[in-house]
Structure 1
Amino acid sequence: MSKVETFRRLHHGRTPDRPLVLPGPWDAASARALEEAGFPALATPSAGVAASLGYEDGATPADEMFAAVARIVRAVDVPVSADIEDGYGLAPKELVERLLEAGAVGCNLEDSTGGVLKDPHEHADRLAQVRYAAGDSLFVNARIDTFIRGVADPERAIERAALYVAAGADCVYPIGAPTSVLPLLRSGIEGPVNVFATVGEGPSPTELGELGATRVTFGPGLQRRATAALREITAELK
């Protein structure tokens, strides 16, 4: 079985109390540590990778992001999905080629750019083109940015999710959705749902699964906690 097939299967047949937990490595060393901890797959966070490369979130050049993903993939045997923000303006065919060259089994694609939501129909068309170019070789996680862009109505997220699933998305990611609306989102969305969790705070992955999460990711949370721990260690060295 290929890595992408393994990754896709990890999203199905899960019970509510056992969502797929995908921690986010920011470099090869962190990826190896997470694999050694027993996680069956990993999902890179763009903000965490950006920080490791010395960039602000959203400012990493495409070439450097794909190179970082490739280093992470080479370091582990488990499947790795890549957060590639809004796709860096690359044409769908080139975007897919770059992901496959890096060894990624999947990707996150955001539906906002520069802090502004994209037209959902236009974004669905782009997702469909990515799906056509990728075939079954990539797992596409369509990030829905309504909640973080000031649109609190969960029905708007559900509407976008329907368009993206119809376009071929394997999973949708309503980032920033309040936990109180997760059951509504779960009831209104077809297929797997990715939910963001805060490391060490808020509901546990199990609790998020019971609220409707199929998979749980942490964005740059682990990288930021590791950096905070390093600051504490260095303070002791002075």
Structure 2
Amino acid sequence: MIQYSGDSYSQTGFSITGTKPSVSNPIGNPAFPGYTTTSNGNNWITYLLHPSSASTLLNYNLASGGATTDASLNLSPLPSNSLTASNTLIGIWIGVNDVGNAWSNANWPTLSQKIIDQYFTQVQELYASGVRNFLFLTVPPIQKTPAAMAQPNFTQSTEGAAVGDYNKLLVKAVDYFKAKNEGVTTWVYDTGDAFNTAIASPKTYGAKDASCYNGDGTSCLWFNGYHPGQAIHKLVAAGVAALVGL
């Protein structure tokens, strides 16, 4: 079983009070592939439900569009008989809105550390509840989104530096969390690999260039000015699957 927390890059519109995931319906609700606000189709989570894993992976996706770290790591209780240390993976892709909304703040170095501290306060609560397997996804290169590319070079480079600094703090926090908690298994997936692969060769992925966007989710790399389309989501899913062994 996999439980996800995050923002619009991950959400599928799941409601904890609706139909629960099952072997025949791995995302529960809404109907597959769910309400994916960033791709007009599959996102990285639903791409992970390939035929070889769909019979075993049940997905409780608590990601919510616009979420930031303080509000996003939803700890809603899962069915009491479903959560065990061995059969549950927590996947967290958060920080896009934290960095995107605040990178230009004069106190960003201090603020980013506070965000990470809050992040891992909540991760520690998950550990206390019995979870032992954690997947962390880094903030992607949002300075390369069409919206950011329309800004001056200085803005792009400064935002890119903020992304890099945040991700370094994330990796450091993961290492510390693992060192102080017995029995923890962690993975960190660098989402920049998927994004940069597509951006470096857009025509390979059906796009005319690296900056166009289209709400069909497939004819450009980007669904809109800030969210990736299906090709990038598929690359993220492939990278996660290879890293974790899904």
- TM-score band, normalised by shorter chain: 0.3 to 0.5
TM-score normalised by the chain length of structure 2: 0.38
Structure (1/2) with the larger helix percentage: 1
